[in-house]
């Protein structure tokens, strides 16, 4: 069942985002007295949002919807610079832990690299102690993992960056090797798979918002199409674009966890989350790929 969620930011959410901003290396952009919300963007330095907490607020909404329980063990696939990782670590509390994996090279990313962002998070307390970053592919990590089963496996805005569409089924197949995690007190909790990805829809109540979102969708679709025409795999940003229905279908048709062979994955809840004005991921992708095009 799909349901909308208001993009209105509560004071509590804003306060939490401001607190978590300390884990981000991305400083707020310069502001002018005449236009306090105006940002200056150049080809050399491209930020993902006018304010770092725009990204944090978005992820706080995701984690709230996923209802992450304190004390949980979480595997985050495709963690990138760690925006979602920080929010997950905050949610699990001091008794929980997040294993965050990403195969990207240490020097990937701008204006700050994966290595710089992850190192900053790890050196910051208290959340840094709740996170372990792993520089490897999801399938390699899952094939060698021997620890307890995870309470949650999270894929937050990472599927677009998979090298090809076969990566998602491969990850889901590897996940099937996990069973239910037995808690110390004897309680069994089913493992949850939490996924967030762009909806490929520019639906909005305002024409201005539709115009702002449509270029992001067209850019993503174009880049994904171009990737299928390449003779050799590229190292581009967007390479796999799957719709919500395609992602859902892939999950529901994948094998269930090994200790639940008589059961299948089922869709517990689905939500359409409006993005706030501060989320400029679409501009970032267009800027990155088309700045120097004639």
Within 10 Å of residue 18's Cβ, how many Cβ atoms? 14
- Residue of 277, 77, 44, 265 whose CA lies nearest to 158: 77
What per-residue confidence (pLDDT) applies to 51? 55
Indicate the fold that domain 16-201+241-271 takes in CATH: Rossmann fold (3.40.50)
**Distances from the Cα of 3 to the Cα of 71, 246, 284, angstroms:** 28, 18, 28
Chunked mean pLDDT (size 10), the chain, 294 residues: 51 82 65 44 42 79 93 95 94 96 86 88 91 94 86 92 87 73 53 87 65 71 73 72 88 69 75 68 50 38
What per-residue confidence (pLDDT) applies to 261? 53
- Residue of 123, 195, 191 whose CA lies nearest to 154: 195
CA 95 to chain centre: 23
Helix 83-92 with 11-20: angle, nearest 10 deg = 110
What per-residue confidence (pLDDT) applies to 101? 96
What per-residue confidence (pLDDT) applies to 263? 62
- Residue of 203, 181, 204 whose CA lies nearest to 192: 181
What per-residue confidence (pLDDT) applies to 191? 84
What per-residue confidence (pLDDT) applies to 257? 60
Query: Structure tokens of 180?
Result: 């239910």
What per-residue confidence (pLDDT) applies to 3? 41
Distance CA 15, CA 21 (A): 10
What per-residue confidence (pLDDT) applies to 148? 83
What per-residue confidence (pLDDT) applies to 230? 72
User: pTM of the full predicted structure?
Assistant: 0.78
What per-residue confidence (pLDDT) applies to 291? 41
SS (H, E, C) the chain: CEEECCCCCCHHHHHHHHHHHHHCCCCCCCCECCECCCCCCCCCCCCCCCCHHHHHHHHHHHHHHHCCCCCCEEEEECCCCCHHHHHHHHHHCCCCEEEEECCCCCCCCCCCCHHHHHHHHHHCCCHHHHEEEECCCHHHHHHHCCCCCCCEEEEECCHHHCCCCCHHHHHHHHHCCCCCEECCCCCEECCEEEEECCCCCCCCCCHHHHHHHHHHHHHHHHHHHHHHHCCCCCCCCCCCCCCHHHHHHHHHCCCCCHHHCCCCCCCCCEEECCCCCCCCHHHHHHHHHHCCCC
What per-residue confidence (pLDDT) applies to 289? 46
Parallel, antiparallel, or unpaired for β 73-77 and 97-101?
A: parallel
């Amino acid at each position: 069942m799909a349901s909308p969620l208001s993009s209105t930011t509560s004071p509590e959410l804003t306060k939490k985002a401001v607190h978590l901003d300390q884990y981000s290396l991305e400083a707020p952009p310069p502001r002018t007295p005449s236009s306090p919300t105006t940002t200056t963007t150049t080809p050399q330095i491209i930020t993902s949002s006018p304010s770092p907490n725009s990204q944090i607020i978005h992820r706080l909404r995701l984690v709230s919807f996923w209802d992450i329980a304190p004390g949980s063990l979480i595997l985050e696939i495709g963690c990138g610079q760690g925006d979602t990782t920080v929010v997950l670590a905050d949610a699990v509390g001091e008794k929980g832990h997040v294993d965050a994996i990403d195969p990207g090279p240490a020097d990937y990313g701008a204006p700050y690299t994966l290595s710089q962002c992850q190192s900053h998070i790890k050196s910051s307390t208290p959340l840094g102690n709740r996170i372990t970053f792993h520089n490897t592919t999801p399938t390699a990590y899952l094939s060698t993992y021997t620890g307890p089963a995870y309470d949650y496996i999270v894929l937050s805005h990472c599927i677009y960056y998979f090298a090809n569409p076969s990566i998602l089924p491969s990850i889901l197949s590897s996940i099937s090797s996990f069973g239910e995690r037995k808690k110390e007190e004897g309680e069994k909790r089913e493992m949850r798979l939490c996924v967030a990805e762009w909806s490929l829809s520019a639906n909005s109540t305002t024409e201005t918002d539709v115009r702002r979102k449509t270029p992001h969708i067209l850019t993503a679709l174009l880049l994904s199409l171009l990737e299928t025409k390449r003779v050799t795999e590229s190292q581009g940003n967007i390479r796999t674009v799957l719709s919500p229905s395609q992602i859902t279908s892939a999950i529901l048709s994948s094998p269930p966890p090994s200790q639940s062979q008589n059961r299948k994955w089922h869709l517990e809840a689905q939500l359409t989350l409006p993005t706030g004005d501060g989320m400029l991921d679409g501009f970032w992708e267009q800027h990155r790929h088309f700045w120097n095009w004639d």
